[in-house]
Amino acid sequence: MKIAVCIKQVPTREWQPRLNDDKTWIREQDASFEMNEPDAYALEEALRLKEKHGGEVIVCSAGPARVAQVIREALARGADRAIQVEDDGLASADAFVTSGALAEAMREDSFDLVLTGLQSDDQGFAQVGVILAERLGYPHATIIMEVQVSPSTLREPQGHPEQGRGTTSSGQVGELRVKRELEGGWFQWVAMPLPAVLTIQSGINQLRYATLKGIMAAKKKEIRKVQPSPATAPKQKIASLYAPEKGKKTQIIGGSPAEAAKELVRRLRDEARVIS
Amino acid sequence: MIVVIAEQRHGKLNRATWETIVGAQQLATATSTPIAVLVPGVNTAGVASELAAAQVQEVVTLEHAALEPYTPDGFTAALQEAVTQLQATYVLLPHTYQTRDFAPKLAARMDRALVTDVTGVKSGSGQTAFVRPMFQGKLTADVVPQGPAPHFITFQIGAYRVDQVAKGTAAAGVRALSIDLDASVIREKPEPPFQQAKQAVDLSQAERIVSVGRGIKEQANIAIAQQLADALGAEIAASRPICDAGWLPMERQVGSSGQTVAPKLYLALGISGAIQHLVGMKGSSTVVAINKDADAPIFEIADYGIVGDLFEIVPAIIEAVKA
């Protein structure tokens, strides 16, 4: 199976936001970045599918030059090669622009399966995977917690030492069965033909970390750089970006841990009356 | 026309639809545009007459056998035609998992803007902006959709209160829209929904909840939170990453993928307050947040906050409760 994984580089969880001068984006120079967490689960799922069924995992990312960091990390964890769509404008791009750039760069590879995280921890659109499916003409399913590929659909690796690398899809129609998460603890199995796009939910598997051997091997792996053609017109504009307005008047209780704890308990008893 | 797409299954309305109608009414006032509520599916009559109580111009049913069960291919094809027929300027949807599954596809097919997870509408100076969280709720953005109408907007669950909906003096008219839908375009074959395990714990009935997030750092530390829960007579719960890691069972997860709770007291330990968590607990009467990061979004919805090390503060609270 030829599996693509789309990953995004996002600010770390510890990052404290600072805005640029016109308050329409963040000050990138103050941020440190990491792999978007749901995308890390998508990568892990792709690596597990490859281990089970054979094939190739190709990591794809669209962003400024800095995304090379998460591409290297993905290669170190076991992806075979990468496609990097590089443009500074992609740092703050909307989902239409990002998925357009990815679709264009990915089309010629004719992937059997495309995985990505269900949403990104930066802009959080939860759109790119689904729009990518529409652009590639593939069916899709979102918020996936289990992936089953039926054995009859696998492409035979025999006689293809590079396992399909550089070749296009055989056109063989395969089938996929996935467990989709619904709200409130409900799930649903959905079957669909390959090729397909899935957006992966965090927690679908346990993540692996890169080994030293993996890190060394990653240095020799191919990263194909692609310039996006004159971009799709943006579909949304950030007019302003700001710190959230507080919905409630939060009473911050100060003092030493003991003092704060005592005061909190007093207020919960006497003011809020929620404990006895 | 502002078109609200209602969500229903087997004749039962998803209440988030009412919240979206509140958003639609706000947008209708700002833009002087009438509202139509579109009900796709089968057996839509009951839901349609329920929704006709809202102050809207009309309720439109979109019945087709191929819309049940839900599939993204079926909904995209049907709704593209319906939205076009209704000459929508805005298409509004609740930001449910089902919406997340098809709305980007529908917007992409029509090559129109989609702004997701919106919490408010701002109008003035000749443009309408939609307020949405970004960066895990650390920042908020005013976003203006670009390009020709219709613009697709999804509203975050809980962004509006159902009791704010304006009801009409008389029921709105209900009519049926007929469409051509070729069922052979549907590639997905869904199976019936199921619950993984019987929910042994019903957190929705809990009066008090102590909930833990990533700040608890390791599984062994869950015991500290459990002691606090015991001292307060509370149930223990967690944000998603804790349940993903297996530190607490999935049935104790609060948030969009877990349970929705509304206790008298919700005490959040080391929970930053990602949107997916907040939607599951923001109906709580009193929220306490304990977090080392003073800028954590959880403090925006907390009534009481302590900024500091939970490993020092929690034992002190247990002591103070027992004193």
Please answer yes or no on whether B285 and A121 come within 8 Å at the CB atom: no
Structural domains of chain B, count: 2
Model pLDDT, residue A164: 37
Q: Does B313 contact A at CB distance below 8 Å?
A: yes
B230 touches chain A (CB under 8 A): no
The pTM is what?
0.88
Which positions 60-79 of A are in contact with B (Cβ < 8 Å)? none
Within a domain: residue B227? Answer: yes
What pLDDT sits at residue B158?
86
Residue B32 lies in a domain: yes
Answer whether B149 touches A (CB < 8 Å).
no
Give the span between the Cα atoms of B97 and B78, in whole angstroms.
19
Residues B144, B268 share a domain: no
Residues 231-260 of B with CB under 8 A from A: 232-233, 240-241, 243-244, 250-251, 256-260
Q: Which of residues 156-175 of B touch A (CB under 8 A)?
A: none
pLDDT tens-digit readout, B134-188: 998 899 999 999 999 999 999 998 899 899 999 999 999 999 999 999 999 999 9
Give how far B282 is from chain A: nearest CA, Å: 11
pLDDT value at residue B233? 95
A201 touches chain B (CB under 8 A): yes
* Confidence at residue B257, expressed as pLDDT on a 0 to 100 scale: 82
Given a contact cutoff of 8 angstroms between Cβ atoms, the answer to whether A180 and A168 are in contact is: no
- pLDDT cut 90: percent of chain B above it: 85
Mean per-residue pLDDT, B70-78: 98
Q: Measuring CA to CA, which residue among A238, A227, A104, A62 is closest to residue B113?
A: A238
- How sure is the predictor about B84, in pLDDT bands with cuts at 50, 70 and 90? very high
Gap from A59 CA to chain B (nearest CA, Å): 23
Choose the final residue of a domain: B185, B220, B245: B185
What CATH number corresponds to the domain at position B83? Answer: 3.40.50.620
Instruction: Give percent above pLDDT 70 in chain B.
Output: 99
pLDDT band (50, 70, 90) for residue B197: low
Question: Per residue, what are the HEC states of A194-219?
Answer: CCEEEEECCCCCCCCCCCHHHHHHHC
Count of H-run helices and E-run strands, chain B: 9, 19
For B213-257, write each residue's pLDDT tens digit. Answer: 999 999 999 999 999 999 999 999 999 999 988 899 988 999 988
* Same structural domain, B145 and B12: yes
* Joined tokens for residue B2: 């502002």
Distance from CA of A193 to the nearest CA of B (A): 7
Fold (topology level) of A2-226 = Rossmann fold (3.40.50)
Q: Are B209 and B145 within one domain?
A: no
Q: Which of B44, B39, B42 is nearest to B18 (CA)?
A: B39
State residue B279's pLDDT score. Answer: 87
Predicted local confidence at residue A166, as pLDDT: 32
> What ipTM, to 2 d.p.?
0.88
Domain range spanning residue B84?
2-185
Note whether residue B162 is domain-resident. yes
- B70: closest CA of chain A, how far (Å): 11
pLDDT value at residue B199: 61
- Listed by start position, the domains of chain A span 2-226, 244-276
For residue A151, say if its preceding peptide bond is cis, omega within 30 degrees of 0.
no
> Is B198 among the domain residues?
no
The pLDDT of residue A158? 44
Q: What is the interface size between A and B, counted as CB pairs within 8 Å?
A: 255
Strand duo B120-124 + B127-134: pairing:
antiparallel
Q: Which residues of A touch B126 (CB under 8 A)?
A: none
Q: Looking at residue A152, what is its pLDDT?
A: 56
Chain B residues 42-81 within an 8 A CB cutoff of chain A: 72-73
8 Å CB contact between B92 and B20: yes
Answer whether B123's CB lies under 8 Å from B114's CB.
no
Crossing angle between the packed helical segments B310-322 and A257-270, to the nearest 10 degrees: 50
| pLDDT at res. A192 | 96
Q: Tokens standing for B292?
A: 């080392």
Contact A235 B190 (CB under 8 A): no
Q: Would the CB atoms of A261 and B97 count as touching at under 8 Å? A: no
For CA atoms B15, B17, B20, B24, the dihedral sign is negative
- Quick check: B72 and A13 CB within 8 A? no
Taking CA B38 as the corner, what is the angle to CA B34 and CA B39, rounded to the nearest 5 degrees? 155
The strand ranges marked E within chain B are: 2-5, 8-9, 12-13, 35-41, 58-63, 90-94, 114-118, 120-124, 127-134, 139-145, 151-155, 173-176, 189-190, 194-195, 208-212, 235-238, 265-269, 286-291, 304-307
Kindly report, residue by residue over B39-65, the tens digit of the pLDDT. 999 999 999 999 999 999 999 999 999
What average pLDDT is seen over chain B?
94
Instruction: Confirm or reject contact between B126 and chain A (CB < 8 A).
Output: no
Q: Find the residue in B nearest to A249 (Cα).
A: B303
Q: Are residues B59 and B150 in the same domain?
A: yes
Same domain, B21 and B116: yes
Statement to judge: residues B167 and B92 lie in one domain: yes
More confident site: B199 or B307: B307
Task: Answer whether A186 sits within 8 Å of B193, measured CB to CB.
Answer: yes
pLDDT band at B198 (very low <50, low <70, confident <90, very high): low
- Pick the last residue of a domain from B185, B213, B232: B185
Distance CA A239, CA A208 (A): 40
Distance CA A6, CA B183 (A): 31
Verify that B35 and B169 share a domain, yes or no.
Answer: yes
pLDDT for res B152 = 98
**Best CA proximity match to A76, nearest among A93, A57, A50, A101:** A57
Q: How far is B5 from chain A (nearest CA, A)?
A: 18
| pLDDT < 50 positions in chain A | 153, 156-171
Q: B16 and B99: one domain?
A: yes
User: By C-alpha distance, which of B263, B261, B264, B266 is closest to B251?
Assistant: B261
Q: SS3 helix, strand, coil % of chain A, rounded to 5?
A: 30, 25, 40
* B72 and B6 within one domain: yes
Q: Are residues B170 and B236 in the same domain?
A: no
**Position B82 in a domain:** yes
Same domain, B181 and B209: no
Is the domain of B107 the same as that of B232?
Answer: no
